[in-house]
A and B are shown apart, each in its own frame.
Chain A
Amino acid sequence: MTARPPDDPLDDLDREIMGRPDDPLDDLDREILERIGRFDPPPADLDERVLFALALDDLEIEVARLTAEQFTGSGARASERTRTITFGADSRTVMITVVERDDNLVRIDGWLAPGGPLRVELRFPEPDPARTVTADEAGRFVFDEVPHGLAQLLVHGPDAEAARVVTPSLLL
């Protein structure tokens, strides 16, 4: 015989106000919820993508939001297919075009606005080291021979005090 837990006065109040207690679930309830939960669960890699995006050593960041994404080309040659993604942050816009190469790698052509010779970093999940390039005066930068998979872009500010602009993780 199990002892009943003491009545929680808040629960009693809830019952009075709502007229219905929070019934314990029986097997049918559980079956129903289990069936509902099976449809459209979060993607299996969502937790990993979030964790990857958050793996930053410095919290002085400005979050860049995806503001546009466009696919062009459907040619047989991989190099004819491109994907253009625009990220907007308060201080800067980052636009990248991801070009499929014929060797199953991609090239990223990027553009910062406003432009300037800023350091741009492309992060990958560990243990792959990040790559860093410097944009030209007009804000253009290129990462070539990039493998498919998760990546994240960081744009460093013009000086050490400025927050870095950080994108969510990209599935290249």
Chain B
Amino acid sequence: MSTDADLGTLLERARSGDRNSLRELIRALDPVLWRVARGQGLTAEDAADVVQTAWLELLRRLHEIRTPRAVTAWLITTTRREAWHRQQRARRDLADGSAVLDAAVDPGPAPDESLLTDERDTVLWRHFARLSERCRHLLRIVAQVDRPDYAVIAEAFGMPHGSIGPTRGRCLAKLREMLLADPAWASP
């Protein structure tokens, strides 16, 4: 993720019609928006759709939103709201909503997930599943961005800006502790 200053430049250029800057802006923000939508329990197809809807809504308001901080905050809030509505509808549409409710926790892959061919991955996700929901969600967002912009992530969680770094630190420390105590992780 880019810094606010970079995003500000991209936003200004995108607003004046520069497609490459718009592309860069999308590339910088899509990973976080994707996790916000998936974190609400949406299927991959629904999440992709909701992310697009948020960008389309932004397009209409591009001239009202002046600062990069506002743009990221606005996109995250819109994605979360759209995802919530989509999720509510999915539940309503299902006679038996249990499948959707199960999916809504976003716990990461199950330990026997066939995607996990690597033994260390299996160990990692087993311990990951024991973290609090907030930790799981936060770490999965932070893991999607090279240089986390804590202001953006704070917005996604509705947390004070200054508490994201320390929370990330605590969540990582907890996971490290569990991993280092597990012989299966220590001796691959």
Task: Check if A18 sits within 8 Å of B139, measured CB to CB.
Answer: no
B35 CB to nearest chain A CB (Å): 8
* Chain B 97-108 interface mask (CB, 8 Å, partner A; 1/0): 000000000001
In the bound assembly, the distance between CA atoms of A20 and B46 in angstroms comes to 38
How many contacting A-B pairs (Cβ < 8 A)?
125
The answer to whether B49 has its CB under 8 Å from any CB of chain A is yes
Within 8 A of A (CB), among B84-128: 85-86, 89, 93, 108-109, 115, 118, 120-121, 124-125, 128
Within 8 A of B (CB), among A14-68: 14, 17-23, 28-29, 32-43, 46-47, 49-51, 53-56, 59, 61, 63, 65-68
User: How many residues in B have their beta carbons less than 8 Å from beta carbons of A?
Assistant: 53
* Chain B 43-55 interface mask (CB, 8 Å, partner A; 1/0): 0101011011101
Tell me which of A34, A37, A40, A63 contacts B57 (CB under 8 A).
Answer: A63
Interface SS, B side:
helix
Task: Check if B38 sits within 8 Å of A40, measured CB to CB.
Answer: yes
Task: Check if B82 sits within 8 Å of A65, measured CB to CB.
Answer: yes
The answer to whether A120 has its CB under 8 Å from any CB of chain B is no
The answer to whether B143 has its CB under 8 Å from any CB of chain A is yes
A144 CB to nearest chain B CB (Å): 25
Tell me which of A33, A41, A68, A166 contacts B93 (CB under 8 A).
Answer: A68
In the bound assembly, the distance between CA atoms of A20 and B56 in angstroms comes to 40
Task: Check if B143 sits within 8 Å of A168, measured CB to CB.
Answer: no
The answer to whether B69 has its CB under 8 Å from any CB of chain A is no
User: A63 — which chain B residues lie within 8 A by C-beta?
Assistant: 53, 56-57, 60
In the bound assembly, the distance between CA atoms of A121 and B63 in angstroms comes to 26
Q: Which residue of B lies closest to A31 (CB)?
A: B120
* Chain A 151-171 interface mask (CB, 8 Å, partner B; 1/0): 000000000000000101100
The answer to whether B31 has its CB under 8 Å from any CB of chain A is yes
In the bound assembly, the distance between CA atoms of A43 and B34 in angstroms comes to 9
User: How many residues in A have their beta carbons less than 8 Å from beta carbons of B?
Assistant: 43
User: A43 — which chain B residues lie within 8 A by C-beta?
Assistant: 44, 48
In the bound assembly, the distance between CA atoms of A63 and B28 in angstroms comes to 23
Known: A22-B168, A53-B56. A36 touches B140 (CB 8 A): yes
Task: Check if B44 sits within 8 Å of A53, measured CB to CB.
Answer: no
Task: Check if B170 sits within 8 Å of A33, measured CB to CB.
Answer: no
Task: Check if A61 sits within 8 Å of B30, measured CB to CB.
Answer: no
Task: Check if A35 sits within 8 Å of B166, measured CB to CB.
Answer: no
B12 CB to nearest chain A CB (Å): 16
A67 CB to nearest chain B CB (Å): 7
B54 CB to nearest chain A CB (Å): 9
The answer to whether B154 has its CB under 8 Å from any CB of chain A is no
**10 residue pairs, one from A and one from B, having the closest CB atoms:** A22-B165, A37-B143, A42-B34, A168-B52, A36-B143, A18-B166, A33-B143, A20-B166, A14-B162, A63-B56
Q: List 10 A-B contacts (CB under 8 A).
A: A32-B124, A32-B172, A33-B139, A33-B142, A34-B143, A40-B140, A46-B51, A50-B26, A54-B26, A63-B53
